[in-house]
């Protein structure tokens, strides 16, 4: 038996209010003997009911007996020791009122719980939709990149790791017609905080580097492919690690990758 679920069902409030059948009352008596949690819950509900009925009862003022005594004579009148039926009705009405208040309290609690569940489900659905939209956007971006890299105008330049980072690598896809390069930096580690990778177009004789851009937002680019403009007569491409935002000239001590353009 799920005791907590049974307690939350509202049956014990109806029991205290006297609204259950004799068979149901006997069942709750048995449960109270077996499960201490149920017995404590019944006692707690009874305490609340007594407090509510006490607060709603008009009571009797302290001067009531004096007022009654002043209107009686000295003859001894036997007292009726039976409780009037109206007294029982008053207590029953108070008890029903208390039970109703308890029922409203429980229903309000259930409603608040349901509202929280609906809100959580709405938030979960929103997160799922956001994830789907992000996936679709990534798919569109990937498809666009594949189409760009498969163009017959593309020249592929492999960039190999240099002494500062011999295991690194990158690729440059150069579309001479559109004067664009697509840098695949998947083989580069994330740059340290405060630094960016900078791409250089090189002529070899004489050696002259020209910056064609910085690989910004490296850590959030899931494809690690960056599009840069290149209207230079490039004979080679190199990538260096520079202070954030790039440099006027390359720091050759931080030359990560380098590759020459084939014939």
pLDDT at res. 201: 95
In angstroms, rounded to a whole number, what is the distance separating the alpha carbons of residues 71 and 90?
Answer: 26
pLDDT at res. 6: 84
CA dihedral 24, 29, 32, 34 (to 10 degrees): -100
pLDDT at res. 241: 97
pLDDT at res. 98: 66
pLDDT at res. 208: 92
pLDDT at res. 80: 47
pLDDT at res. 49: 73
Contact 52, 101 (CB under 8 A): yes
Domain positions in the chain = 3-122, 154-260
- Of the candidates 80, 16, 86, which has an alpha carbon nearest to the alpha carbon of residue 50? 16
CATH architecture entry for 154-260: Sandwich (2.60)
pLDDT at res. 20: 82
pLDDT along the chain (263 residues), means of 10: 84 81 88 89 82 57 53 49 48 64 69 71 62 51 63 84 95 90 93 95 91 92 89 94 95 95 81
pLDDT at res. 96: 65
pLDDT at res. 190: 94
Threshold 0.85, pTM exceeds: no
pLDDT at res. 91: 57
pLDDT at res. 77: 47
CA R_g for the chain: 42
In angstroms, rounded to a whole number, what is the distance separating the alpha carbons of residues 126 and 227?
Answer: 32
């Amino acid at each position: 038996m799920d005791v907590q679920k049974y307690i939350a069902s509202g049956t014990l409030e109806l029991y205290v209010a006297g609204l259950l059948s004799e068979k149901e009352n006997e069942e709750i008596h048995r449960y109270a003997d077996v499960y201490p949690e149920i017995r404590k819950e019944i006692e707690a509900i009874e305490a609340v009911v007594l407090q509510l009925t006490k607060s709603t009862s008009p009571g009797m003022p302290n001067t009531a007996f004096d007022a009654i005594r002043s209107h009686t004579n000295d003859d001894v009148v036997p007292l009726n020791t039976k409780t009037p039926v109206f007294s029982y009705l008053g207590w029953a009405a108070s008890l029903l009122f208390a039970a109703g208040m308890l029922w409203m309290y429980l229903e309000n609690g259930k409603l608040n719980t349901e509202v929280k569940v609906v809100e959580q489900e709405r938030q979960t659905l929103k997160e799922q939709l956001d994830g789907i939209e992000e996936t679709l956007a990534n798919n569109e971006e990937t498809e666009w990149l594949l189409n760009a890299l498969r163009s017959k105008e593309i020249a592929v330049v492999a960039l190999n790791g240099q002494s500062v980072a011999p295991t690194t690598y990158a690729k440059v896809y150069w579309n001479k017609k559109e004067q664009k390069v697509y840098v695949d930096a998947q083989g580069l580690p994330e740059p340290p905080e405060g630094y960016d990778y900078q791409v250089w177009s090189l002529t070899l004789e004489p050696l002259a580097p020209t910056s064609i851009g910085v690989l910004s937002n490296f850590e959030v680019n899931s494809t690690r492919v960056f599009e840069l403009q290149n209207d230079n007569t490039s004979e080679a491409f190199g990538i260096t690690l520079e202070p954030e935002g790039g440099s006027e000239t390359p720091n050759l001590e931080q030359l990560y990758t380098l590759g020459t353009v084939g014939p």
